[in-house]
Amino acid sequence: MKLRDNMNNTLHIIIDNSGSMRELGKRFIATNLVRYVRDIGIIQPERFVPFNFKLFMCNDTVNEITVLPNQDIELPQPTGKLNIEQFLQLLEKEQPLSVLFLSDRLEKETFPRLKQLTNCRFVFVAVGVDAKLPLKCNAPHLSAFCAEDISVALDFVLYPVSANETPPQSVNEIHLENNTDSNKGDWDV
Protein backbone atom coordinates (compact mmCIF):
# COMPACT_ATOMS: atom_id res chain seq x y z
CA MET A 1 0.00 0.00 0.00
CA LYS A 2 1.12 3.52 -0.65
CA LEU A 3 0.33 6.73 1.23
CA ARG A 4 -2.19 8.86 -0.60
CA ASP A 5 -0.44 10.69 -3.45
CA ASN A 6 -1.35 14.31 -3.10
CA MET A 7 0.20 17.70 -2.52
CA ASN A 8 -1.00 17.85 1.07
CA ASN A 9 -0.75 14.49 2.79
CA THR A 10 -1.16 15.95 6.28
CA LEU A 11 -3.66 14.05 8.39
CA HIS A 12 -5.94 16.37 10.37
CA ILE A 13 -6.94 14.96 13.76
CA ILE A 14 -9.81 16.83 15.36
CA ILE A 15 -10.68 15.98 18.94
CA ASP A 16 -14.04 16.83 20.48
CA ASN A 17 -13.05 18.57 23.71
CA SER A 18 -16.56 19.44 24.87
CA GLY A 19 -17.91 18.65 28.33
CA SER A 20 -19.29 15.24 27.34
CA MET A 21 -15.71 14.04 26.77
CA ARG A 22 -15.02 14.47 30.52
CA GLU A 23 -17.03 11.34 31.31
CA LEU A 24 -15.96 7.68 31.38
CA GLY A 25 -12.28 8.29 30.62
CA LYS A 26 -12.92 9.58 27.08
CA ARG A 27 -10.20 12.23 27.36
CA PHE A 28 -7.66 9.52 28.17
CA ILE A 29 -8.89 7.30 25.34
CA ALA A 30 -8.56 10.24 22.90
CA THR A 31 -5.04 10.99 24.22
CA ASN A 32 -3.98 7.37 23.70
CA LEU A 33 -5.47 7.32 20.19
CA VAL A 34 -3.41 10.40 19.27
CA ARG A 35 -0.29 8.76 20.75
CA TYR A 36 -0.99 5.66 18.65
CA VAL A 37 -1.42 7.72 15.47
CA ARG A 38 1.79 9.64 16.21
CA ASP A 39 3.76 6.41 16.82
CA ILE A 40 2.20 4.10 14.20
CA GLY A 41 5.15 4.49 11.82
CA ILE A 42 7.45 3.15 14.54
CA ILE A 43 5.03 0.40 15.63
CA GLN A 44 4.25 -0.87 12.12
CA PRO A 45 6.86 0.58 9.72
CA GLU A 46 6.11 -2.05 7.07
CA ARG A 47 2.48 -0.92 6.94
CA PHE A 48 2.54 2.83 7.61
CA VAL A 49 5.06 5.20 6.09
CA PRO A 50 5.69 8.36 8.13
CA PHE A 51 3.11 11.10 7.65
CA ASN A 52 2.51 14.55 9.05
CA PHE A 53 -0.49 15.43 11.15
CA LYS A 54 -2.11 18.47 12.69
CA LEU A 55 -4.04 18.23 15.93
CA PHE A 56 -7.08 20.41 16.68
CA MET A 57 -9.26 20.65 19.78
CA CYS A 58 -12.89 21.56 19.24
CA ASN A 59 -15.41 22.74 21.81
CA ASP A 60 -16.79 26.31 21.85
CA THR A 61 -13.84 27.21 19.61
CA VAL A 62 -11.39 25.32 17.41
CA ASN A 63 -7.70 25.53 18.35
CA GLU A 64 -4.64 23.87 16.89
CA ILE A 65 -2.47 22.03 19.45
CA THR A 66 1.27 21.66 18.92
CA VAL A 67 2.50 18.09 19.25
CA LEU A 68 6.25 17.66 19.61
CA PRO A 69 7.61 14.28 18.45
CA ASN A 70 9.75 13.64 21.54
CA GLN A 71 7.26 14.79 24.20
CA ASP A 72 4.15 13.23 25.66
CA ILE A 73 0.74 14.42 24.53
CA GLU A 74 -1.34 16.26 27.11
CA LEU A 75 -4.85 17.35 26.24
CA PRO A 76 -6.61 20.15 28.13
CA GLN A 77 -9.62 19.43 30.33
CA PRO A 78 -12.83 19.12 28.27
CA THR A 79 -15.23 22.05 28.72
CA GLY A 80 -18.11 23.76 26.97
CA LYS A 81 -20.19 22.53 24.09
CA LEU A 82 -19.12 21.20 20.70
CA ASN A 83 -19.50 23.98 18.12
CA ILE A 84 -20.32 22.07 14.94
CA GLU A 85 -20.35 25.23 12.82
CA GLN A 86 -16.75 26.13 13.73
CA PHE A 87 -15.72 22.50 13.19
CA LEU A 88 -17.22 22.52 9.67
CA GLN A 89 -15.72 25.95 8.91
CA LEU A 90 -12.28 24.58 9.81
CA LEU A 91 -12.74 21.74 7.32
CA GLU A 92 -13.94 24.11 4.61
CA LYS A 93 -11.06 26.55 5.25
CA GLU A 94 -8.21 24.01 5.60
CA GLN A 95 -9.58 21.66 2.92
CA PRO A 96 -7.70 18.68 4.34
CA LEU A 97 -7.54 15.47 2.35
CA SER A 98 -7.58 13.19 5.39
CA VAL A 99 -9.46 13.78 8.67
CA LEU A 100 -9.86 11.72 11.84
CA PHE A 101 -12.58 13.09 14.13
CA LEU A 102 -12.39 11.65 17.66
CA SER A 103 -15.65 12.16 19.53
CA ASP A 104 -18.48 10.47 21.38
CA ARG A 105 -21.02 11.62 18.80
CA LEU A 106 -21.49 12.91 15.26
CA GLU A 107 -24.66 14.91 14.80
CA LYS A 108 -26.92 14.14 11.83
CA GLU A 109 -26.94 17.78 10.71
CA THR A 110 -23.22 17.55 9.88
CA PHE A 111 -23.68 14.87 7.19
CA PRO A 112 -24.99 17.12 4.37
CA ARG A 113 -21.96 19.45 4.73
CA LEU A 114 -19.51 16.53 5.11
CA LYS A 115 -20.90 14.94 1.94
CA GLN A 116 -20.00 18.14 0.05
CA LEU A 117 -16.32 17.78 1.02
CA THR A 118 -15.75 15.09 -1.61
CA ASN A 119 -11.95 15.63 -1.77
CA CYS A 120 -11.68 14.85 1.95
CA ARG A 121 -11.61 11.33 3.38
CA PHE A 122 -13.39 11.83 6.70
CA VAL A 123 -13.37 9.20 9.45
CA PHE A 124 -15.37 9.48 12.65
CA VAL A 125 -13.79 7.50 15.50
CA ALA A 126 -16.30 6.78 18.27
CA VAL A 127 -14.68 7.38 21.68
CA GLY A 128 -16.20 5.90 24.83
CA VAL A 129 -18.58 3.11 25.73
CA ASP A 130 -21.57 5.44 25.29
CA ALA A 131 -20.41 6.75 21.88
CA LYS A 132 -23.04 6.92 19.19
CA LEU A 133 -21.71 5.35 16.00
CA PRO A 134 -23.57 6.40 12.82
CA LEU A 135 -25.13 3.37 11.16
CA LYS A 136 -24.51 4.53 7.59
CA CYS A 137 -22.45 7.38 6.22
CA ASN A 138 -23.85 7.02 2.67
CA ALA A 139 -20.80 8.46 0.92
CA PRO A 140 -17.62 6.69 -0.19
CA HIS A 141 -15.35 9.33 1.41
CA LEU A 142 -17.06 9.13 4.84
CA SER A 143 -16.67 6.32 7.34
CA ALA A 144 -17.05 5.57 11.04
CA PHE A 145 -15.15 3.21 13.33
CA CYS A 146 -14.99 2.34 17.01
CA ALA A 147 -11.88 3.47 18.92
CA GLU A 148 -10.52 -0.10 19.06
CA ASP A 149 -10.43 -0.06 15.24
CA ILE A 150 -8.06 2.93 15.01
CA SER A 151 -5.61 0.97 12.83
CA VAL A 152 -8.37 0.14 10.34
CA ALA A 153 -9.58 3.76 10.45
CA LEU A 154 -6.05 4.89 9.55
CA ASP A 155 -6.02 2.45 6.62
CA PHE A 156 -9.24 3.99 5.33
CA VAL A 157 -8.19 7.62 5.79
CA LEU A 158 -4.58 7.34 4.58
CA TYR A 159 -4.81 4.83 1.74
CA PRO A 160 -7.05 5.15 -1.31
CA VAL A 161 -9.58 2.46 -2.11
CA SER A 162 -10.16 1.90 -5.81
CA ALA A 163 -13.66 1.39 -7.17
CA ASN A 164 -13.22 -2.39 -7.37
CA GLU A 165 -11.93 -2.79 -3.79
CA THR A 166 -13.96 -2.86 -0.63
CA PRO A 167 -12.99 -0.48 2.17
CA PRO A 168 -11.46 -1.92 5.35
CA GLN A 169 -13.86 -3.39 7.86
CA SER A 170 -14.13 -2.69 11.53
CA VAL A 171 -14.05 -5.46 14.09
CA ASN A 172 -17.79 -4.98 14.64
CA GLU A 173 -18.62 -5.37 10.92
CA ILE A 174 -16.57 -8.55 10.68
CA HIS A 175 -18.28 -9.90 13.81
CA LEU A 176 -21.72 -9.17 12.32
CA GLU A 177 -20.78 -10.88 9.05
CA ASN A 178 -19.54 -13.99 10.82
CA ASN A 179 -22.36 -14.15 13.35
CA THR A 180 -24.69 -16.49 11.45
CA ASP A 181 -26.77 -19.38 12.74
CA SER A 182 -24.22 -21.86 11.36
CA ASN A 183 -21.54 -20.37 13.65
CA LYS A 184 -23.67 -20.27 16.80
CA GLY A 185 -22.16 -23.36 18.38
CA ASP A 186 -18.56 -22.17 17.83
CA TRP A 187 -18.60 -19.99 20.96
CA ASP A 188 -20.31 -22.31 23.42
CA VAL A 189 -18.57 -22.33 26.80
pLDDT single digits (tens) 65-85 = 887 777 888 888 888 888 888
* Better-predicted residue by pLDDT, 160 or 131: 131
Mean pLDDT of the 136-146 span: 79
Residue 186 has pLDDT above 70, yes or no: no
Q: How far apart are CA 173 and CA 156, in angstroms?
A: 14
The CATH number of the domain holding residue 35 is 3.40.50.2300
Tell me, yes or no, whether 3 lies in a domain: no
Residue type for 183, please?
A: N
| Predicted TM-score (pTM) of this structure | 0.76
The total domain count for the chain is 1
The string over 153-189, giving b where at least 16 C-beta atoms fall within 10 Å of a residue's C-beta and e elsewhere, is: bbbbbbbeeeeeeeebbbeeeeeeeeeeeeeeeeeee
Q: How far apart are CA 28 and CA 44, in angstroms?
A: 23
Tell me, yes or no, whether 5 lies in a domain: no
Residue 97 has pLDDT above 60, yes or no: yes
Tell me, yes or no, whether 189 lies in a domain: no
Tell me, yes or no, whether 75 lies in a domain: yes
Tell me, yes or no, whether 2 lies in a domain: no
Helix (H, G, I), strand (E, B) or coil at 13: strand
Residue 107 has pLDDT above 90, yes or no: no
Range of the domain at 97: 11-184
Tell me, yes or no, whether 134 lies in a domain: yes
**Burial class of residue 33 (count of CB atoms within 10 Å of its CB; 0-12, 13-18, 19+):** buried
C-beta atoms surrounding 35 within 10 Å: 13
Tell me, yes or no, whether 115 lies in a domain: yes
Residue type for 100, please?
A: L
Cα angle: 135, vertex 94, 113; to 5 degrees: 35
pLDDT digits 0-9 by tens, 31-64: 999 988 888 877 777 777 767 888 899 988 888 8
Tell me, yes or no, whether 32 lies in a domain: yes
Residue 170 has pLDDT above 60, yes or no: no
Confidence of residue 129 (pLDDT cuts 50, 70, 90): confident
Mean pLDDT of the 144-153 span: 90
